[in-house]
Structure 1
Amino acid sequence: MKNSVDNKIQNGYSLDLGKIIELSFATFKKTFLISGVAFIIICIVALILYAGYFGLLFGFSNFADTMAQIESSALNATTQITNTLVGAVFSALFGPIIAGFIYVNHLANTNKEYGVASFFDFYKSDKVKDILINQLIITLFVNAIATFLVIANFPIISGLLQIIVALLTFFSIPLIIFGDQNYMDAITKSAQLFIKQPLVIIVSIIIGGLGSMVGIIALCIGIFFTAPYYFSVIYAVYHEAIGFQETSPIDEIGLE
Protein backbone atom coordinates (compact mmCIF):
# COMPACT_ATOMS: atom_id res chain seq x y z
CA MET A 1 0.00 0.00 0.00
CA LYS A 2 2.97 2.36 0.45
CA ASN A 3 3.55 2.44 -3.30
CA SER A 4 -0.13 3.18 -3.88
CA VAL A 5 -0.06 6.11 -1.46
CA ASP A 6 3.11 7.53 -3.01
CA ASN A 7 1.58 7.15 -6.46
CA LYS A 8 -1.50 9.14 -5.42
CA ILE A 9 0.71 11.87 -3.97
CA GLN A 10 2.77 12.07 -7.15
CA ASN A 11 0.03 11.74 -9.75
CA GLY A 12 -3.03 12.94 -7.84
CA TYR A 13 -6.41 11.27 -7.58
CA SER A 14 -10.06 12.01 -8.24
CA LEU A 15 -12.91 12.01 -5.76
CA ASP A 16 -16.61 11.59 -6.49
CA LEU A 17 -18.72 13.14 -3.73
CA GLY A 18 -21.69 11.00 -4.71
CA LYS A 19 -19.68 7.79 -4.28
CA ILE A 20 -18.34 8.98 -0.93
CA ILE A 21 -21.85 9.65 0.38
CA GLU A 22 -23.14 6.35 -1.01
CA LEU A 23 -20.35 4.27 0.54
CA SER A 24 -20.45 6.11 3.86
CA PHE A 25 -24.19 5.48 4.24
CA ALA A 26 -23.80 1.87 3.14
CA THR A 27 -21.21 1.09 5.83
CA PHE A 28 -22.97 3.25 8.43
CA LYS A 29 -26.23 1.33 7.98
CA LYS A 30 -24.37 -1.88 8.73
CA THR A 31 -22.50 -0.55 11.77
CA PHE A 32 -24.61 2.17 13.42
CA LEU A 33 -26.08 -0.03 16.19
CA ILE A 34 -22.81 -1.59 17.30
CA SER A 35 -21.01 1.75 16.80
CA GLY A 36 -23.62 3.48 18.96
CA VAL A 37 -23.13 1.02 21.79
CA ALA A 38 -19.34 1.39 21.56
CA PHE A 39 -19.67 5.19 21.44
CA ILE A 40 -21.77 5.22 24.63
CA ILE A 41 -19.22 3.04 26.44
CA ILE A 42 -16.35 5.28 25.31
CA CYS A 43 -18.19 8.47 26.32
CA ILE A 44 -18.79 7.06 29.80
CA VAL A 45 -15.12 6.12 30.16
CA ALA A 46 -13.99 9.53 28.86
CA LEU A 47 -16.36 11.31 31.27
CA ILE A 48 -15.00 9.34 34.22
CA LEU A 49 -11.39 10.04 33.22
CA TYR A 50 -11.94 13.77 32.72
CA ALA A 51 -13.99 14.05 35.93
CA GLY A 52 -11.20 12.28 37.78
CA TYR A 53 -8.59 14.60 36.27
CA PHE A 54 -10.44 17.80 37.22
CA GLY A 55 -11.28 16.32 40.60
CA LEU A 56 -7.60 15.66 41.33
CA LEU A 57 -6.71 19.12 40.07
CA PHE A 58 -9.38 21.14 41.87
CA GLY A 59 -10.81 18.76 44.46
CA PHE A 60 -13.83 16.49 44.81
CA SER A 61 -15.54 18.19 47.74
CA ASN A 62 -17.98 20.56 46.06
CA PHE A 63 -18.98 20.46 42.40
CA ALA A 64 -20.01 24.14 42.29
CA ASP A 65 -16.74 25.23 43.87
CA THR A 66 -14.79 23.03 41.45
CA MET A 67 -16.54 24.55 38.43
CA ALA A 68 -15.88 28.05 39.79
CA GLN A 69 -12.17 27.23 40.20
CA ILE A 70 -11.99 25.85 36.66
CA GLU A 71 -13.61 29.01 35.28
CA SER A 72 -11.43 31.39 37.30
CA SER A 73 -8.20 29.65 36.28
CA ALA A 74 -9.16 29.08 32.65
CA LEU A 75 -6.75 31.72 31.34
CA ASN A 76 -4.04 31.02 33.89
CA ALA A 77 -0.81 30.18 32.02
CA THR A 78 0.08 27.24 34.27
CA THR A 79 -3.41 25.76 33.92
CA GLN A 80 -3.33 26.24 30.15
CA ILE A 81 0.01 24.47 29.84
CA THR A 82 -1.13 21.64 32.11
CA ASN A 83 -4.35 21.22 30.11
CA THR A 84 -2.34 21.24 26.88
CA LEU A 85 -0.14 18.36 28.04
CA VAL A 86 -2.99 16.36 29.60
CA GLY A 87 -5.20 16.94 26.55
CA ALA A 88 -2.47 15.64 24.26
CA VAL A 89 -2.07 12.51 26.38
CA PHE A 90 -5.82 11.86 26.44
CA SER A 91 -6.01 12.37 22.66
CA ALA A 92 -3.18 9.91 22.13
CA LEU A 93 -4.79 7.30 24.40
CA PHE A 94 -8.07 7.53 22.48
CA GLY A 95 -6.30 7.38 19.08
CA PRO A 96 -6.60 3.58 18.77
CA ILE A 97 -10.35 3.90 19.34
CA ILE A 98 -10.63 6.35 16.43
CA ALA A 99 -8.71 3.81 14.36
CA GLY A 100 -11.17 1.15 15.55
CA PHE A 101 -14.21 3.13 14.42
CA ILE A 102 -12.69 3.65 10.98
CA TYR A 103 -11.59 0.02 10.69
CA VAL A 104 -15.02 -1.35 11.62
CA ASN A 105 -16.36 0.34 8.49
CA HIS A 106 -13.77 -1.58 6.48
CA LEU A 107 -14.83 -4.84 8.13
CA ALA A 108 -18.47 -4.09 7.32
CA ASN A 109 -17.65 -3.12 3.74
CA THR A 110 -15.68 -6.32 3.17
CA ASN A 111 -18.28 -8.49 4.96
CA LYS A 112 -15.97 -9.47 7.81
CA GLU A 113 -17.13 -10.18 11.36
CA TYR A 114 -16.96 -7.43 13.98
CA GLY A 115 -18.27 -6.64 17.45
CA VAL A 116 -17.83 -4.15 20.26
CA ALA A 117 -14.33 -5.56 20.93
CA SER A 118 -13.33 -4.62 17.37
CA PHE A 119 -13.32 -0.94 18.33
CA PHE A 120 -10.50 -1.62 20.78
CA ASP A 121 -8.46 -4.06 18.66
CA PHE A 122 -5.76 -1.53 17.80
CA TYR A 123 -4.63 -1.36 21.41
CA LYS A 124 -3.13 -4.82 20.83
CA SER A 125 -2.02 -4.11 17.25
CA ASP A 126 1.58 -3.59 16.16
CA LYS A 127 0.36 -0.23 14.83
CA VAL A 128 -0.55 1.10 18.27
CA LYS A 129 2.77 2.91 18.77
CA ASP A 130 2.43 4.86 15.54
CA ILE A 131 -1.21 5.72 16.28
CA LEU A 132 -0.39 6.95 19.79
CA ILE A 133 2.61 9.04 18.70
CA ASN A 134 0.73 10.40 15.68
CA GLN A 135 -2.10 11.68 17.88
CA LEU A 136 0.29 12.96 20.54
CA ILE A 137 2.32 15.01 18.04
CA ILE A 138 -0.72 16.49 16.32
CA THR A 139 -2.60 17.36 19.51
CA LEU A 140 0.46 18.65 21.34
CA PHE A 141 1.36 20.92 18.43
CA VAL A 142 -2.18 22.24 17.99
CA ASN A 143 -2.83 22.69 21.70
CA ALA A 144 0.52 24.39 22.35
CA ILE A 145 0.07 26.96 19.56
CA ALA A 146 -3.64 27.40 20.34
CA THR A 147 -2.90 27.95 24.04
CA PHE A 148 -0.33 30.61 23.22
CA LEU A 149 -2.78 32.37 20.88
CA VAL A 150 -5.59 32.26 23.46
CA ILE A 151 -3.33 33.67 26.16
CA ALA A 152 -2.25 36.36 23.65
CA ASN A 153 -5.98 37.08 23.09
CA PHE A 154 -6.19 35.73 19.52
CA PRO A 155 -8.95 33.09 19.94
CA ILE A 156 -10.18 33.35 16.33
CA ILE A 157 -6.71 32.63 14.92
CA SER A 158 -6.45 29.76 17.40
CA GLY A 159 -9.68 28.25 16.10
CA LEU A 160 -8.59 28.64 12.46
CA LEU A 161 -5.28 26.93 13.23
CA GLN A 162 -7.04 23.94 14.76
CA ILE A 163 -9.28 23.62 11.69
CA ILE A 164 -6.33 23.81 9.29
CA VAL A 165 -4.32 21.17 11.16
CA ALA A 166 -7.38 18.90 11.38
CA LEU A 167 -7.81 19.15 7.61
CA LEU A 168 -4.14 18.56 6.80
CA THR A 169 -4.02 15.49 9.08
CA PHE A 170 -7.36 14.09 7.90
CA PHE A 171 -5.71 11.01 6.35
CA SER A 172 -3.14 10.38 9.08
CA ILE A 173 -4.81 7.54 11.01
CA PRO A 174 -6.17 5.78 7.87
CA LEU A 175 -2.66 5.95 6.39
CA ILE A 176 -1.29 4.16 9.47
CA ILE A 177 -3.92 1.43 9.65
CA PHE A 178 -4.48 0.90 5.92
CA GLY A 179 -1.45 2.44 4.18
CA ASP A 180 1.25 0.90 6.42
CA GLN A 181 2.80 4.32 7.13
CA ASN A 182 4.69 5.26 10.27
CA TYR A 183 3.49 8.16 12.41
CA MET A 184 5.63 10.86 10.78
CA ASP A 185 5.04 9.73 7.19
CA ALA A 186 1.32 9.56 7.95
CA ILE A 187 1.29 13.22 8.99
CA THR A 188 3.34 14.54 6.07
CA LYS A 189 1.65 12.38 3.42
CA SER A 190 -1.78 13.23 4.80
CA ALA A 191 -1.10 16.91 4.12
CA GLN A 192 0.16 16.10 0.62
CA LEU A 193 -2.94 14.03 -0.12
CA PHE A 194 -5.32 16.64 1.26
CA ILE A 195 -4.06 19.46 -0.95
CA LYS A 196 -4.78 17.33 -4.04
CA GLN A 197 -8.56 17.44 -3.43
CA PRO A 198 -9.24 19.96 -0.64
CA LEU A 199 -12.71 21.11 -1.70
CA VAL A 200 -14.28 17.64 -2.00
CA ILE A 201 -12.71 16.56 1.29
CA ILE A 202 -13.94 19.68 3.08
CA VAL A 203 -17.47 19.17 1.73
CA SER A 204 -17.30 15.51 2.79
CA ILE A 205 -16.24 16.55 6.31
CA ILE A 206 -19.12 19.03 6.51
CA ILE A 207 -21.56 16.33 5.41
CA GLY A 208 -20.04 13.93 7.94
CA GLY A 209 -20.35 16.54 10.69
CA LEU A 210 -23.95 17.36 9.85
CA GLY A 211 -24.84 13.66 9.60
CA SER A 212 -23.25 13.04 12.97
CA MET A 213 -25.40 15.74 14.58
CA VAL A 214 -28.73 14.46 13.23
CA GLY A 215 -29.25 12.41 16.38
CA ILE A 216 -29.80 15.58 18.40
CA ILE A 217 -33.31 15.64 16.92
CA ALA A 218 -34.14 12.39 18.74
CA LEU A 219 -34.13 13.92 22.24
CA CYS A 220 -30.33 14.25 21.93
CA ILE A 221 -29.97 10.54 22.78
CA GLY A 222 -29.79 9.59 19.12
CA ILE A 223 -26.50 11.44 18.72
CA PHE A 224 -24.74 8.48 20.30
CA PHE A 225 -25.80 6.44 17.28
CA THR A 226 -25.33 9.10 14.58
CA ALA A 227 -21.98 10.51 15.78
CA PRO A 228 -20.02 7.51 14.37
CA TYR A 229 -21.22 8.47 10.88
CA TYR A 230 -18.26 10.85 10.71
CA PHE A 231 -15.90 7.85 10.81
CA SER A 232 -17.86 6.26 7.96
CA VAL A 233 -17.12 9.38 5.92
CA ILE A 234 -13.41 9.21 6.75
CA TYR A 235 -13.35 5.59 5.61
CA ALA A 236 -15.31 6.37 2.44
CA VAL A 237 -12.97 9.23 1.48
CA TYR A 238 -9.91 7.01 2.00
CA HIS A 239 -11.55 4.19 0.06
CA GLU A 240 -12.26 6.46 -2.90
CA ALA A 241 -8.98 8.38 -2.74
CA ILE A 242 -6.44 5.59 -2.13
CA GLY A 243 -8.40 2.37 -2.35
CA PHE A 244 -7.33 -1.10 -1.34
CA GLN A 245 -5.55 -3.92 -3.05
CA GLU A 246 -7.79 -6.88 -3.86
CA THR A 247 -6.02 -8.69 -1.02
CA SER A 248 -4.57 -6.06 1.26
CA PRO A 249 -1.90 -6.78 3.90
CA ILE A 250 -4.29 -5.79 6.68
CA ASP A 251 -6.76 -8.48 5.55
CA GLU A 252 -4.01 -11.09 5.32
CA ILE A 253 -2.33 -10.53 8.67
CA GLY A 254 -5.17 -8.92 10.63
CA LEU A 255 -4.17 -6.87 13.63
CA GLU A 256 -1.41 -9.04 15.02
Structure 2
Amino acid sequence: MKSISDQIKDIKNHGYSLDFSNVFNLAFENYKKIAVYAGLILLVFSVLFGITAGVILILIFGVDKVDGAKLLTIQPQLLSQTQLVYYIFGTAIFSAIFSPFTAGFLKMADCAQKDEEFKVATVFTYYKNRYFLQIFLATFTVSLLNVAIGTFLELQQLNALGLAISLFLSFFTFLIIPLIIFGNLKAFDAIKSSFIIISKQPAILLALIITIIGAIIVGFMAFCIGILFTIPFSYSMTYAIYCSIFTIDKEDPIDSIGKSDLE
Protein backbone atom coordinates (compact mmCIF):
# COMPACT_ATOMS: atom_id res chain seq x y z
CA MET A 1 0.00 0.00 0.00
CA LYS A 2 1.23 3.48 -0.84
CA SER A 3 2.31 5.72 2.00
CA ILE A 4 0.35 8.88 2.75
CA SER A 5 3.20 10.94 1.24
CA ASP A 6 3.00 8.98 -2.00
CA GLN A 7 -0.78 9.32 -2.06
CA ILE A 8 -0.43 13.08 -1.63
CA LYS A 9 1.90 13.16 -4.62
CA ASP A 10 -0.74 11.32 -6.66
CA ILE A 11 -3.38 13.79 -5.46
CA LYS A 12 -1.17 16.71 -6.47
CA ASN A 13 -0.77 15.28 -9.97
CA HIS A 14 -4.14 13.66 -10.59
CA GLY A 15 -6.57 14.91 -7.93
CA TYR A 16 -9.09 12.62 -6.22
CA SER A 17 -12.80 11.94 -6.08
CA LEU A 18 -15.03 12.68 -3.12
CA ASP A 19 -18.72 11.96 -2.67
CA PHE A 20 -20.64 14.31 -0.36
CA SER A 21 -23.27 11.80 0.75
CA ASN A 22 -20.75 9.04 1.51
CA VAL A 23 -18.60 11.35 3.61
CA PHE A 24 -21.61 12.79 5.42
CA ASN A 25 -23.02 9.34 6.22
CA LEU A 26 -19.66 8.14 7.50
CA ALA A 27 -19.34 11.25 9.66
CA PHE A 28 -22.85 10.95 11.06
CA GLU A 29 -22.48 7.29 11.96
CA ASN A 30 -19.20 8.08 13.67
CA TYR A 31 -20.73 11.06 15.47
CA LYS A 32 -23.48 8.92 16.98
CA LYS A 33 -20.81 6.84 18.68
CA ILE A 34 -18.94 9.75 20.30
CA ALA A 35 -21.51 12.57 20.65
CA VAL A 36 -22.57 12.17 24.28
CA TYR A 37 -19.19 11.18 25.66
CA ALA A 38 -17.30 13.88 23.76
CA GLY A 39 -19.95 16.47 24.62
CA LEU A 40 -19.62 15.80 28.34
CA ILE A 41 -15.84 16.08 28.13
CA LEU A 42 -16.16 19.39 26.29
CA LEU A 43 -18.60 20.67 28.89
CA VAL A 44 -16.20 20.01 31.76
CA PHE A 45 -13.02 21.19 30.09
CA SER A 46 -14.54 24.25 28.42
CA VAL A 47 -15.27 25.60 31.90
CA LEU A 48 -11.72 24.91 33.04
CA PHE A 49 -10.16 26.37 29.88
CA GLY A 50 -12.44 29.40 30.06
CA ILE A 51 -11.39 30.19 33.61
CA THR A 52 -7.72 29.71 32.76
CA ALA A 53 -7.91 31.93 29.67
CA GLY A 54 -9.74 34.63 31.60
CA VAL A 55 -7.10 34.70 34.33
CA ILE A 56 -4.27 34.88 31.77
CA LEU A 57 -5.93 37.73 29.86
CA ILE A 58 -6.54 39.67 33.06
CA LEU A 59 -2.91 39.25 34.09
CA ILE A 60 -1.68 40.47 30.69
CA PHE A 61 -4.11 43.28 29.85
CA GLY A 62 -5.61 44.23 33.18
CA VAL A 63 -9.12 43.75 34.45
CA ASP A 64 -10.35 47.01 32.91
CA LYS A 65 -9.80 45.69 29.35
CA VAL A 66 -11.18 42.20 29.82
CA ASP A 67 -13.95 42.78 32.31
CA GLY A 68 -17.29 41.18 31.47
CA ALA A 69 -18.21 41.32 27.78
CA LYS A 70 -14.85 42.91 26.96
CA LEU A 71 -13.24 39.54 27.55
CA LEU A 72 -14.48 38.45 24.10
CA THR A 73 -14.01 41.80 22.33
CA ILE A 74 -10.45 42.95 22.91
CA GLN A 75 -9.74 45.73 20.43
CA PRO A 76 -6.13 45.75 19.12
CA GLN A 77 -6.26 49.48 18.41
CA LEU A 78 -6.61 50.12 22.14
CA LEU A 79 -3.52 48.11 23.04
CA SER A 80 0.07 49.27 23.27
CA GLN A 81 2.71 47.77 20.98
CA THR A 82 3.93 45.53 23.78
CA GLN A 83 0.40 44.36 24.51
CA LEU A 84 -0.16 43.70 20.80
CA VAL A 85 2.87 41.41 20.75
CA TYR A 86 1.56 39.62 23.85
CA TYR A 87 -1.86 39.36 22.24
CA ILE A 88 -0.60 37.93 18.93
CA PHE A 89 1.91 35.46 20.39
CA GLY A 90 -0.31 34.62 23.35
CA THR A 91 -3.22 33.72 21.08
CA ALA A 92 -0.99 31.60 18.84
CA ILE A 93 0.59 29.79 21.78
CA PHE A 94 -2.79 29.15 23.41
CA SER A 95 -4.12 27.68 20.14
CA ALA A 96 -1.01 25.51 19.80
CA ILE A 97 -1.25 24.22 23.36
CA PHE A 98 -4.93 23.43 22.89
CA SER A 99 -4.49 21.69 19.51
CA PRO A 100 -3.36 18.26 20.86
CA PHE A 101 -6.63 18.26 22.81
CA THR A 102 -8.48 18.63 19.51
CA ALA A 103 -6.31 15.86 18.06
CA GLY A 104 -7.44 13.66 20.92
CA PHE A 105 -11.05 13.92 19.76
CA LEU A 106 -9.95 12.78 16.31
CA LYS A 107 -8.30 9.82 18.00
CA MET A 108 -11.62 9.18 19.78
CA ALA A 109 -13.39 9.24 16.42
CA ASP A 110 -10.82 6.79 15.09
CA CYS A 111 -11.37 4.44 18.05
CA ALA A 112 -15.14 4.67 17.63
CA GLN A 113 -14.89 3.86 13.92
CA LYS A 114 -12.85 0.75 14.73
CA ASP A 115 -15.14 -0.23 17.63
CA GLU A 116 -12.30 0.19 20.10
CA GLU A 117 -12.66 1.42 23.66
CA PHE A 118 -12.02 5.10 24.35
CA LYS A 119 -11.85 6.98 27.63
CA VAL A 120 -11.39 10.51 28.94
CA ALA A 121 -7.64 9.92 28.72
CA THR A 122 -8.01 9.42 24.96
CA VAL A 123 -8.34 13.17 24.38
CA PHE A 124 -4.91 13.65 25.99
CA THR A 125 -3.19 11.03 23.84
CA TYR A 126 -1.17 13.53 21.83
CA TYR A 127 0.19 15.42 24.81
CA LYS A 128 2.41 12.47 25.65
CA ASN A 129 3.85 11.16 22.40
CA ARG A 130 6.08 12.22 19.54
CA TYR A 131 3.26 13.89 17.63
CA PHE A 132 2.95 16.69 20.18
CA LEU A 133 5.79 18.81 18.80
CA GLN A 134 4.57 18.55 15.20
CA ILE A 135 0.98 19.39 16.17
CA PHE A 136 2.22 22.32 18.26
CA LEU A 137 4.48 23.71 15.52
CA ALA A 138 1.88 23.40 12.78
CA THR A 139 -0.90 25.00 14.81
CA PHE A 140 1.36 27.74 16.18
CA THR A 141 2.57 28.65 12.67
CA VAL A 142 -0.91 28.88 11.17
CA SER A 143 -2.40 30.64 14.20
CA LEU A 144 0.46 33.15 14.39
CA LEU A 145 0.07 34.02 10.71
CA ASN A 146 -3.70 34.20 11.05
CA VAL A 147 -3.72 36.42 14.14
CA ALA A 148 -0.90 38.66 12.89
CA ILE A 149 -2.61 39.32 9.56
CA GLY A 150 -6.01 39.75 11.18
CA THR A 151 -4.68 42.18 13.80
CA PHE A 152 -2.80 44.24 11.22
CA LEU A 153 -5.86 44.52 8.99
CA GLU A 154 -8.07 45.40 11.95
CA LEU A 155 -5.67 48.22 12.83
CA GLN A 156 -6.10 49.42 9.24
CA GLN A 157 -9.89 49.28 9.60
CA LEU A 158 -10.07 46.40 7.12
CA ASN A 159 -11.97 44.02 9.36
CA ALA A 160 -13.92 42.36 6.54
CA LEU A 161 -10.73 41.53 4.64
CA GLY A 162 -9.16 40.20 7.83
CA LEU A 163 -12.17 37.95 8.43
CA ALA A 164 -12.04 36.69 4.83
CA ILE A 165 -8.34 35.82 5.09
CA SER A 166 -8.91 34.14 8.46
CA LEU A 167 -11.68 31.96 7.02
CA PHE A 168 -9.51 31.17 3.99
CA LEU A 169 -6.60 30.01 6.14
CA SER A 170 -8.84 28.04 8.47
CA PHE A 171 -10.49 26.25 5.56
CA PHE A 172 -7.29 25.35 3.72
CA THR A 173 -5.53 24.11 6.85
CA PHE A 174 -8.25 22.09 8.61
CA LEU A 175 -6.64 18.79 7.55
CA ILE A 176 -3.30 19.57 9.20
CA ILE A 177 -3.87 17.64 12.41
CA PRO A 178 -5.18 14.40 10.84
CA LEU A 179 -2.29 14.52 8.36
CA ILE A 180 0.11 14.59 11.31
CA ILE A 181 -1.49 12.05 13.61
CA PHE A 182 -2.78 9.60 10.99
CA GLY A 183 -0.48 10.40 8.04
CA ASN A 184 2.67 10.78 10.15
CA LEU A 185 3.67 13.99 8.36
CA LYS A 186 5.90 16.70 9.82
CA ALA A 187 4.37 20.05 10.69
CA PHE A 188 5.28 22.03 7.59
CA ASP A 189 4.67 19.10 5.24
CA ALA A 190 1.20 18.80 6.76
CA ILE A 191 0.50 22.50 6.18
CA LYS A 192 1.61 22.31 2.56
CA SER A 193 -0.25 19.05 1.97
CA SER A 194 -3.47 20.40 3.47
CA PHE A 195 -3.44 23.26 0.95
CA ILE A 196 -2.79 20.83 -1.91
CA ILE A 197 -5.54 18.39 -0.91
CA ILE A 198 -8.22 20.99 -0.26
CA SER A 199 -7.43 22.92 -3.45
CA LYS A 200 -8.33 19.80 -5.49
CA GLN A 201 -11.91 19.55 -4.19
CA PRO A 202 -12.73 22.94 -2.62
CA ALA A 203 -16.44 22.97 -3.52
CA ILE A 204 -17.37 19.62 -1.94
CA LEU A 205 -15.14 20.20 1.08
CA LEU A 206 -16.64 23.65 1.59
CA ALA A 207 -20.12 22.14 1.45
CA LEU A 208 -19.11 19.60 4.10
CA ILE A 209 -17.66 22.35 6.30
CA ILE A 210 -20.88 24.32 5.94
CA THR A 211 -22.82 21.33 7.29
CA ILE A 212 -20.54 21.41 10.34
CA ILE A 213 -21.23 25.11 10.84
CA GLY A 214 -24.96 24.47 10.45
CA ALA A 215 -24.85 21.75 13.10
CA ILE A 216 -22.98 24.03 15.50
CA ILE A 217 -25.50 26.83 14.94
CA VAL A 218 -28.33 24.42 15.71
CA GLY A 219 -26.52 23.41 18.87
CA PHE A 220 -26.06 27.03 19.88
CA MET A 221 -29.78 27.66 19.43
CA ALA A 222 -30.51 24.70 21.72
CA PHE A 223 -29.99 26.70 24.90
CA CYS A 224 -26.32 27.34 23.97
CA ILE A 225 -25.08 24.28 25.89
CA GLY A 226 -26.22 22.14 22.97
CA ILE A 227 -23.26 23.46 21.00
CA LEU A 228 -20.99 21.29 23.14
CA PHE A 229 -22.80 18.22 21.84
CA THR A 230 -22.74 19.32 18.20
CA ILE A 231 -19.07 20.34 18.12
CA PRO A 232 -18.05 16.63 18.14
CA PHE A 233 -19.69 16.41 14.72
CA SER A 234 -16.84 18.56 13.41
CA TYR A 235 -14.32 15.97 14.62
CA SER A 236 -16.30 13.13 13.07
CA MET A 237 -16.57 15.07 9.82
CA THR A 238 -12.86 15.87 9.71
CA TYR A 239 -12.07 12.23 10.38
CA ALA A 240 -14.53 11.07 7.72
CA ILE A 241 -13.08 13.46 5.16
CA TYR A 242 -9.56 12.22 5.84
CA CYS A 243 -10.60 8.56 5.61
CA SER A 244 -12.51 9.22 2.39
CA ILE A 245 -9.54 10.86 0.72
CA PHE A 246 -6.81 8.42 1.69
CA THR A 247 -6.45 4.67 1.43
CA ILE A 248 -5.46 3.71 4.94
CA ASP A 249 -3.96 0.55 6.34
CA LYS A 250 -6.32 -0.04 9.24
CA GLU A 251 -3.58 -1.32 11.53
CA ASP A 252 -1.09 1.41 10.75
CA PRO A 253 -2.53 4.36 12.72
CA ILE A 254 -2.92 2.28 15.88
CA ASP A 255 0.49 0.69 15.58
CA SER A 256 2.20 4.01 14.99
CA ILE A 257 0.43 5.63 17.90
CA GLY A 258 1.24 2.74 20.19
CA LYS A 259 4.87 2.88 19.19
CA SER A 260 5.05 6.64 19.56
CA ASP A 261 4.01 6.42 23.17
CA LEU A 262 7.19 4.46 23.88
CA GLU A 263 9.54 6.70 21.95
Instruction: Check whether TM > 0.5.
Output: yes
Structure 2 partner of 1:228: 232
Residue 253 of structure 1 and its aligned partner are, at CA, apart by: 3.4
Amino acid at match of 2:40: V
Identify which of 190, 198, 214 aligns with 2:202: 198
Identify which of 46, 54, 57 aligns with 2:60: 57
Identify which of 161, 164, 170 aligns with 1:166: 170
SS of equivalent residue, structure 1 residue 195: helix
Identify which of 241, 244, 252 aligns with 2:255: 252
Residue 41 of structure 1 and its aligned partner are, at CA, apart by: 2.4
Structure 2 partner of 1:99: 103
Note if 1:242 corresponds to 2:239: no
Asked if structure 2 preserves the Cα contact closer than 8 Å seen for 1:81 and 1:147, the reply is no
Deviating 4+ runs (over 3 angstroms): 58-68, 70-75
Amino acid at match of 2:183: G
Identify which of 23, 38, 47 aligns with 2:41: 38
Relative to the length of structure 2, the TM-score reads 0.89
Asked if structure 2 preserves the Cα contact closer than 8 Å seen for 1:37 and 1:116, the reply is no
Q: Distance in 1 between matches of 2:29 and 2:68?
A: 47
Gap change, CA 1:61 and 1:205, over 3 Å in 2: closer
Residue 67 of structure 1 and its aligned partner are, at CA, apart by: 4.2
**Paired-residue identity, %:** 28
Residue 115 of structure 1 and its aligned partner are, at CA, apart by: 1.2
Structure 2 partner of 1:11: 14
Q: Distance in 2 between matches of 1:111 and 1:9?
A: 33
Relative to the length of structure 1, the TM-score reads 0.91
Q: Distance in 2 between matches of 1:99 and 1:195?
A: 23
Gap change, CA 1:105 and 1:58, over 3 Å in 2: same
SS of equivalent residue, structure 2 residue 117: coil
Gap change, CA 1:64 and 1:239, over 3 Å in 2: closer
Any unmatched runs of 5+ in structure 1? none
Amino acid at match of 1:197: Q
Residue 141 of structure 1 and its aligned partner are, at CA, apart by: 0.7
Q: Distance in 1 between matches of 2:15 and 2:45?
A: 37
Aligned residues between the structures: 254
Any unmatched runs of 5+ in structure 2? none
SS of equivalent residue, structure 2 residue 118: coil
Asked if structure 2 preserves the Cα contact closer than 8 Å seen for 1:134 and 1:187, the reply is yes
Identify which of 109, 118, 125 aligns with 1:114: 118
SS of equivalent residue, structure 1 residue 104: helix
Asked if structure 2 preserves the Cα contact closer than 8 Å seen for 1:127 and 1:177, the reply is yes
Residue 12 of structure 1 and its aligned partner are, at CA, apart by: 1.2
